[in-house]
Chain A
Amino acid sequence: MPAYALEIIVFSLGLVLLLVDAFAKLEDKRSLAWLGMLGLVVVFGLLFKVEPRAADDANVFWRFYSDSRMSLFFKGIAILSTILVLAMAIDYRGLIEKFTAPAEKKAHPQAGLGEFFALPVFACAGLMCMASATNLVSIFVSLEAVTITFYVMVAYMRRNVGSLEAGVKYLILGALSTGFLVYGFAWLYGITGSMDLAEIGAALKSGDVSPTAALFAFSLILVALGFKVGAVPFQMWIPDVYQGAPTPITAFLSVGSKAAGFIVLLRLSAVFLGSEAVAGQVAMAFAVVAGLTLIVGNLTAIPQSNFKRLLAYSSIAHAGFLLTALAAAPRKLEAGQLSSATVVAFYLGAYLLMTLLAFLVVGLVRVHRDSEEIEAYRGLGKSSPFLALALLIAMASLAGVPLTAGFFGKFFVFQLAIQGGHWWLVTLAAIGAGAGFYYYLKVVAAMYWDDPTGAAAKAAAIPVSALTRAAVVTLIVLIVIAGFAPRMILGLIG
């Protein structure tokens, strides 16, 4: 089947969930999540059955749609993270119910849960479209599909002030950044007369286009996408929004939304970097943003005492490494050298595994210990050794300890930066990675070295459902495999 059928299936799956929710009068709405996961697992399998575009296929889809290996890889990221987000949402449903249950006494306590399970599926469809979009309009439409869904999901716990605040912030700033994006697109369209990235790229390359106008477009787009991926100085919304949003949504935001932002950034930056006239300036702008993001992201993570917030800052820090890969994009690829797109894709794949693993544990601890502070993790190594081990591996990988997925992510970035001779970026990245060791291991030390205080001292082990256990084990295995054999992931990227 052609690749675009997958998006149609996922979108239909979302509709099916809604219809089932509306008409089946489910007593326990968890089955919706199960249904969603099941459907997505099938779609994930279909991902490997996608037939490449036939040469004579004149279908309208291909005008704005790419089915390259890279696109499929990002689709895989979207599907996988959605599946895990739904799994997390099942564990998290108690809190959602608590903050969304209708005021009436008679109402079903899970009245607000159906949409919470359906919205991620729609977001997934949007993310998948974005992975393939090669046309300004389709990029914009899919970006909107994702962002609007996220506005709702972030604010979903409507009786929780933090979640509401996060939602409002995200909405207003997100709308502003979308405005910048559209304005930037308008400039691109204006100067090249095309919405198609390939044609835009060719026009920019030909040199007939004014470099000034191209740089206008680039500045506007950089602001908008910098906001999406959490690059400094547009990162300020991240800590509040991440902390306020329901944990599964935070995980989704930090993985899915970031991956989507980066694939758009990759596509658009390739267009600009291909033009002799502006490539230098564009690369320099990326380098400045990357350097700032590396330093600010990593250093501001150090003093955090709330684990969820720490992960928010860590997501900024990782954006710094990803941007470094973009800034160090080689002009001409030598044999055996990884392109910066491949490095970014690999990094995001690794980031997906370790971040979702961390958030899985954060969600469980939040539900059962009612806290997201690092304090609450004290003694977890004794009381819940399984979860502690999972978090240990997630932290090690985030820090970039060898033989984990995160190590190779950082390694490839370093290699790219050194090959490109970006010395000060390499230095900043090294400082950042060092700081990372410090703040990630802080959590590990709390789990294994500190004795629990207060109520946590008597707390029983956190129960882990079979589904969560399976998800955790899968993620651990994947992290370790990617740490030993990164070729497997690279092979998928192509």
Chain B
Amino acid sequence: MIHDSIHPACLIGAAFLMGILAPLISRAVSGWVGAVVWGAFPAIAFGYFLAGIPAEPGSVWRDTLPWLSSFGMDWDVWLSPLGRILALMVTGLGLAIALYGGGYFKDRGERGRFFAFFFVFMGAMLGLAVTENLLVLFVFWELTSVASFLLIAHHHGLDESRLSARDALMVTGTGGLALLAGILLLGEAGGSFQIGELAEMSASIGAHPLYPAIFCCIFAGAMTKSAQVPSHFWLPGAMTAPAPVSAYLHSATMVKAGVFLLAILHPVLGGTAEWRFTLLVFGAATMTWGALVAMAQTDLKRLLAFTTLSTLGTLTMLLGLEQTLAAKAVAVLLLVHALYKGALFLVAGALEKATGTRDVRRLGGLMRTMPGLGAAAVLAAASMSGLPPFIGFIAKELVFALKWETPVVGWLLLACGVVAGAANIVVALKVGVTPFLGGGEDLARVEKLPGWRLWLGPSVLGAMSLLLGLFPDRLLGGLVSGAVSQFRAEEPTIKLALWHGINPPLLISVFTFMAGLGVYLARRRIRSTGRHLSERVGGWTAQQVFRAAFQRFLNFAGLLTTSARNGGLGGIVTIMLTVAAAGMVWALWRSGIEGLSKGVSPIRLDALVAVGVTAVAAWGATVARDRMMAILSLGCAGFGLAAIFAVFGAPDLAITQIVVETLTLAFFALAIYGLPAMMGRNAAACLPGMVGKNILAVGIGVLFCLLTLQAQRPDLVEPVGREIGRLSLPEGHGRNVVNVILVDFRALDTLGEVAVLAIAALGVSALLGSGRLRKEGPGQRPVRSAVLIASARYTAPAMVVFSFFLLLRGHNEPGGGFIGGLVFASAAMLGHLARFDGRPSLLRLKPAAAILCGLALSAVSGLPGLTMGSGYLKAVWGPELFVPLVGAVKIGTPLLFDIGVYLVVAGTVLMLFEAMVCAGSHRGRKEGLWT
């Protein structure tokens, strides 16, 4: 068979390739050659799907292309009978449209664009038709939505065109997401994504607790795609697309995708009460609504669009029935509708091209000028009206015959069917007959006769309607019985025939025809009343409701945006604190705060003083309006904190804190140098805001206090650090636990932190504009205090010596490389500020070099450990050395490491200082602040 030698996937790939190449082809060819090139692919594909229809309906050609097996996402390809019908519609109509499009779009660029999306769409539709795996099917499903969006927006210069395209994408796209959810759920329930495997599980799926959710999601996807009420409005809106697009996507193929999906999932999900009820209700509503509205339209394409709705409703309703006859009717109606509706859309497009209008009231008597088009129109209209011997007649008879097969729903079906049938007749007459055979006043003139390509396609389609009607069983029997067997487990014998003798369905047909004819003849009178009936419910069309709702949604998004960015820093800080507090309150609430008093130690006076100073100073920093005052208060708070550290036995931390506070103060002073002394009042500092913030601040304070108390609970938190404290002297040869941790136990982390410090220094100096201090010329000397100069002369050198002292004793006593480096830097800064005349500045040390050397030293100090086999940065100890003032110092790699830290810290602080002084002096010079 041909499918074994050429895989269907190749065909789909070829379609996408055509789409990519279309702009180029369009530039290269036109006329006859163009028609052949554009039509070649659909023609070949049509033949491909026609070939090898299996003799016995049950057998289905299957193949699996492995893709993402572990997610159940293999591309399972099948040529199911229903899929074949869809593929034949897609390629057969595609052929007609390809011919037509070549003549319809005169501009090469425009034609290229149309064909690009056209072929992509065709590939996606074929993918939909031949894919058995639902996840892969979803991919094609979404592709058709996107392609449809692009095709609807063909005239993207027009606002209405864009809005319609947007509506269509939003509706079908949202439906697509629902479909994806449904498919994933179905996979959960059934354990597979392959329809064949799922169908075998259908009983357990139907009873699964997820079934209602699965069904709702999948139906939402199908319903939006197939334009069921109330999501139908995108389809009439899509009529802003060019005629070939409407003919192809919005009558024959894409809108059938939803129905198609329901049909192929019928064996999996069908047969339940939910299924029957939902499909019948939505189908009947769409069927009637579309028909009623259609009768009042005057625009050619809208007339056709609303009857398309009606037919889609019919199909949905038929899928809700269980009878074999219903399955037969679905298969026939799918094909029939595509044939006549495609043809009529193409006729409408040609008429618009020729006369410049789509208003049926201004069209008439065109048979003489356009006989070919007229013949096509009449043939298609006859099939649409359900006249014998056209295939449309058979489809209609099948629907009516169902009335006698279904006991309860029969009457509903009959009533809706009559309305829909009558509407079809009215529309068929209006679109297919009036423009050619009718008369009237104020008729549009023919400006340009349509070329052969514009009538050839529709004529073939019309002729097909006749041909299929004459030989239904021979031409369609195989396909239809295959399709029916896809619904039913048993394989019934299906026979299609035109004439069944005079029976009730025939009589109803005659009645329907008379009714339709009556409406048509009275159309002018009905139109005035019909206007009220038209699309509006309570003065609103579904489209308006959707657009208004969508606008509301956008407004809401706008509101959210403005409210989500209120306030600057303060607001964000408030939120972060609040959320953290809420989280902790939530945790506390879960466990209660019992046992708080267990671990509380006796209150000490010195600690209380330190805490009081810190609190007052911190409060002062927040209320100060003088910048300098604020900084000083902040510094005070820092010193208070240092005092707290000292009181509770953490001298290392205390010293570090003091030095850091001092340096920070100095940097702050340099930074605010050029700013006004007073700070402006914060806009958010109005009373209500302040009250709220104060409450929050107190609340957070209390909460953190509670947390700290919680942390004292011995049952909650085990005191840590004892282990390290125990190991410190024997393994680290040091009594200062903090230092031992830094330079030995966790030296690698310290190395990283030192590197971060270096990067920060580099970054800040880059930000402030790197540059070295220049010698100050005469007249550029900053004002300096005599006291500062006098005191610095003695303190600075002493501090340098002290810093070495700190460095060396750090391993056993409070001190270490970090503090030493900070002290050295302070000394150097002091020296610079009170420059000693004629003496070399301590700033001779190049900060960058110090940082690099320090980094290198720290990194290298780890190598001995590596070579000794104990590992990188593992300590290697040498002899003890006696240093005056300091005492015994054990020589070893940790000391080297600490010296590296010392250098990096000193270099970093000096680099920052240099950058800030530099920036300050530029600014100062410009503003004349420096004398």
Q: In the bound complex, what is the Cα–Cα distance between A222 and B583 (angstroms)? A: 9
Stretch at the interface among B173-181, B415-423, B788-796, B807-815: B173-181
Q: By the criterion CB–CB under 8 Å, are B771 and A336 in contact?
A: no
- Separation in Å of the A78 CB from the closest CB of chain B? 16
Partner of B766 from the list A112, A148, A172, A173 (CB cut-off 8 Å) is A112
Q: By the criterion CB–CB under 8 Å, are A219 and B583 in contact?
A: yes
Asked if B686 is at the interface of the complex by the 8 Å CB criterion, the answer is: no
Q: By the criterion CB–CB under 8 Å, are B573 and A402 in contact?
A: no
Instruction: Provide the residues of chain B in CB contact with A177, threshold 8 Å.
Output: 576
Interface centre among B174, B583, B759 (most CB of A within 10 A): B759
Per the 8 Å Cβ criterion, residues 24-81 of A in contact with B are 58-61, 64
Nearest to B156 among chain A residues (CB) is: A449
Q: By the criterion CB–CB under 8 Å, are A193 and B718 in contact?
A: yes
Stretch at the interface among B42-50, B496-504, B555-563, B626-634: B555-563
Q: By the criterion CB–CB under 8 Å, are B554 and A303 in contact?
A: yes
Asked if A469 is at the interface of the complex by the 8 Å CB criterion, the answer is: no
Asked if A437 is at the interface of the complex by the 8 Å CB criterion, the answer is: yes
Stretch at the interface among B291-299, B344-352, B744-752: B744-752
Stretch at the interface among B255-263, B538-546, B866-874: B866-874
Partner of A172 from the list B68, B569, B848 (CB cut-off 8 Å) is B569
Nearest to A14 among chain B residues (CB) is: B759
Q: By the criterion CB–CB under 8 Å, are B557 and A129 in contact?
A: no
Instruction: Provide the residues of chain A in CB contact with B852, threshold 8 Å.
Output: 15
Nearest to B769 among chain A residues (CB) is: A102
Q: By the criterion CB–CB under 8 Å, are A445 and B162 in contact?
A: yes
Asked if B387 is at the interface of the complex by the 8 Å CB criterion, the answer is: no
Q: In the bound complex, what is the Cα–Cα distance between A281 and B146 (angstroms)? A: 41
Q: By the criterion CB–CB under 8 Å, are A285 and B583 in contact?
A: yes
Q: By the criterion CB–CB under 8 Å, are A430 and B178 in contact?
A: yes
Asked if A236 is at the interface of the complex by the 8 Å CB criterion, the answer is: yes
Q: In the bound complex, what is the Cα–Cα distance between A212 and B178 (angstroms)? A: 40
Q: In the bound complex, what is the Cα–Cα distance between A189 and B718 (angstroms)? A: 10
Asked if A397 is at the interface of the complex by the 8 Å CB criterion, the answer is: no
Q: In the bound complex, what is the Cα–Cα distance between A215 and B586 (angstroms)? A: 9
Q: By the criterion CB–CB under 8 Å, are A430 and B720 in contact?
A: no
Stretch at the interface among A149-157, A252-260, A362-370: A149-157
Q: In the bound complex, what is the Cα–Cα distance between A418 and B184 (angstroms)? A: 7
Q: By the criterion CB–CB under 8 Å, are B185 and A418 in contact?
A: yes
- Separation in Å of the A104 CB from the closest CB of chain B? 9
Per the 8 Å Cβ criterion, residues 121-178 of B in contact with A are 138-139, 142-143, 146, 153, 156-157, 162, 166, 169-170, 173-174, 177-178
Q: By the criterion CB–CB under 8 Å, are B583 and A190 in contact?
A: no
Q: By the criterion CB–CB under 8 Å, are A401 and B146 in contact?
A: yes
Stretch at the interface among B367-375, B522-530, B709-717: B709-717
Q: By the criterion CB–CB under 8 Å, are A414 and B717 in contact?
A: no
Q: By the criterion CB–CB under 8 Å, are A152 and B767 in contact?
A: yes
Q: In the bound complex, what is the Cα–Cα distance between A236 and B576 (angstroms)? A: 10
Q: In the bound complex, what is the Cα–Cα distance between A220 and B579 (angstroms)? A: 9
- Separation in Å of the B70 CB from the closest CB of chain A? 5
Q: In the bound complex, what is the Cα–Cα distance between A438 and B766 (angstroms)? A: 41
Q: By the criterion CB–CB under 8 Å, are A213 and B717 in contact?
A: yes
Q: By the criterion CB–CB under 8 Å, are A234 and B576 in contact?
A: yes
Task: Encode A405-449 as 1/0 by CB contact (under 8 A) with B.
Answer: 001000100110011000000100010011101100100010011
Nearest to A101 among chain B residues (CB) is: B769
Q: In the bound complex, what is the Cα–Cα distance between A138 and B874 (angstroms)? A: 17
Asked if B731 is at the interface of the complex by the 8 Å CB criterion, the answer is: no
Instruction: Provide the residues of chain A in CB contact with B146, threshold 8 Å.
Output: 401
Q: By the criterion CB–CB under 8 Å, are B756 and A145 in contact?
A: yes
Q: In the bound complex, what is the Cα–Cα distance between A112 and B715 (angstroms)? A: 56
Asked if A180 is at the interface of the complex by the 8 Å CB criterion, the answer is: yes
Knowing A103-B922, A300-B557 touch, does A237 contact B572 (C-beta < 8 A)? Answer: yes
Stretch at the interface among B326-334, B459-467, B587-595, B688-696: B587-595
Q: By the criterion CB–CB under 8 Å, are B572 and A173 in contact?
A: yes
Q: By the criterion CB–CB under 8 Å, are A111 and B573 in contact?
A: no
Asked if B110 is at the interface of the complex by the 8 Å CB criterion, the answer is: no
Count of A-B contacts judged by CB separation below 8 Å: 227
Knowing A111-B770, A212-B591 touch, does A138 contact B749 (C-beta < 8 A)? Answer: yes
Instruction: Provide the residues of chain A in CB contact with B475, threshold 8 Å.
Output: none
Knowing A11-B755, A219-B584 touch, does A212 contact B716 (C-beta < 8 A)? Answer: yes
Task: Encode B674-688 as 1/0 by CB contact (under 8 A) with A.
Answer: 000000000000000
Task: Encode B583-617 as 1/0 by CB contact (under 8 A) with A.
Answer: 11011101100000000000000000000000000
Asked if B575 is at the interface of the complex by the 8 Å CB criterion, the answer is: yes
Knowing A158-B767, A296-B564 touch, does A430 contact B569 (C-beta < 8 A)? Answer: no
- Separation in Å of the A20 CB from the closest CB of chain B? 14
Knowing A212-B588, A213-B717 touch, does A449 contact B557 (C-beta < 8 A)? Answer: no
Nearest to B153 among chain A residues (CB) is: A449
Asked if A1 is at the interface of the complex by the 8 Å CB criterion, the answer is: no
The A contact surface, by secondary structure, is helix
- Separation in Å of the B107 CB from the closest CB of chain A? 15
Instruction: Provide the residues of chain B in CB contact with A403, threshold 8 Å.
Output: 139, 143
Q: By the criterion CB–CB under 8 Å, are B873 and A60 in contact?
A: yes
Per the 8 Å Cβ criterion, residues 77-98 of A in contact with B are none
Nearest to A419 among chain B residues (CB) is: B188
Asked if A471 is at the interface of the complex by the 8 Å CB criterion, the answer is: no
Q: In the bound complex, what is the Cα–Cα distance between A122 and B569 (angstroms)? A: 28
Q: In the bound complex, what is the Cα–Cα distance between A228 and B591 (angstroms)? A: 29
Q: By the criterion CB–CB under 8 Å, are A60 and B763 in contact?
A: no
Instruction: Provide the residues of chain B in CB contact with A267, threshold 8 Å.
Output: none
Instruction: Provide the residues of chain A in CB contact with B9, threshold 8 Å.
Output: none
Q: By the criterion CB–CB under 8 Å, are A61 and B560 in contact?
A: no
Nearest to B723 among chain A residues (CB) is: A193
- Separation in Å of the B185 CB from the closest CB of chain A? 6
Per the 8 Å Cβ criterion, residues 163-217 of A in contact with B are 167, 169, 172-173, 176-177, 180, 187, 189-191, 193, 210-213, 215-216
Asked if B71 is at the interface of the complex by the 8 Å CB criterion, the answer is: yes
Asked if A115 is at the interface of the complex by the 8 Å CB criterion, the answer is: yes
Knowing A60-B871, A145-B756 touch, does A303 contact B569 (C-beta < 8 A)? Answer: no
Q: By the criterion CB–CB under 8 Å, are B710 and A216 in contact?
A: yes
Q: By the criterion CB–CB under 8 Å, are A414 and B181 in contact?
A: yes
Instruction: Provide the residues of chain B in CB contact with A426, threshold 8 Å.
Output: 181
- Separation in Å of the A461 CB from the closest CB of chain B? 18
Asked if B762 is at the interface of the complex by the 8 Å CB criterion, the answer is: yes
- Separation in Å of the B732 CB from the closest CB of chain A? 14
Asked if A223 is at the interface of the complex by the 8 Å CB criterion, the answer is: yes
Partner of A210 from the list B71, B153, B715, B873 (CB cut-off 8 Å) is B715
Q: By the criterion CB–CB under 8 Å, are A299 and B556 in contact?
A: yes
- Separation in Å of the A142 CB from the closest CB of chain B? 7
Q: In the bound complex, what is the Cα–Cα distance between A127 and B590 (angstroms)? A: 37
Interface centre among A116, A167, A210, A220 (most CB of B within 10 A): A210
Asked if A463 is at the interface of the complex by the 8 Å CB criterion, the answer is: no
Q: By the criterion CB–CB under 8 Å, are A61 and B872 in contact?
A: yes
Q: By the criterion CB–CB under 8 Å, are B576 and A102 in contact?
A: no
Instruction: Provide the residues of chain A in CB contact with B185, threshold 8 Å.
Output: 418
Partner of B590 from the list A212, A223, A415 (CB cut-off 8 Å) is A212
Knowing A216-B587, A449-B156 touch, does A435 contact B764 (C-beta < 8 A)? Answer: no
Partner of B558 from the list A115, A129, A303 (CB cut-off 8 Å) is A303
Q: By the criterion CB–CB under 8 Å, are B717 and A215 in contact?
A: no
Q: By the criterion CB–CB under 8 Å, are A169 and B575 in contact?
A: no
Asked if A320 is at the interface of the complex by the 8 Å CB criterion, the answer is: no
Q: By the criterion CB–CB under 8 Å, are A437 and B173 in contact?
A: yes
Knowing A148-B756, A222-B583 touch, does A210 contact B591 (C-beta < 8 A)? Answer: yes
Further 9 A-B residue pairs, CB within 8 A, beyond A141-B752, A216-B710: A61-B872, A100-B769, A115-B763, A137-B749, A158-B769, A222-B583, A299-B556, A402-B143, A407-B139
A-B contact pairs, 30 of them (CB 8 A): A60-B871, A61-B748, A119-B762, A138-B748, A144-B753, A148-B759, A152-B766, A158-B768, A169-B569, A173-B573, A190-B717, A190-B720, A212-B710, A212-B716, A213-B710, A213-B716, A220-B583, A227-B576, A233-B579, A234-B579, A236-B572, A281-B590, A285-B583, A302-B557, A304-B561, A402-B143, A426-B181, A433-B177, A434-B177, A437-B170
Interchain residue pairs A-B with the least CB separation, the first 9: A219-B583, A152-B763, A215-B587, A115-B766, A212-B591, A141-B752, A302-B557, A449-B156, A299-B557
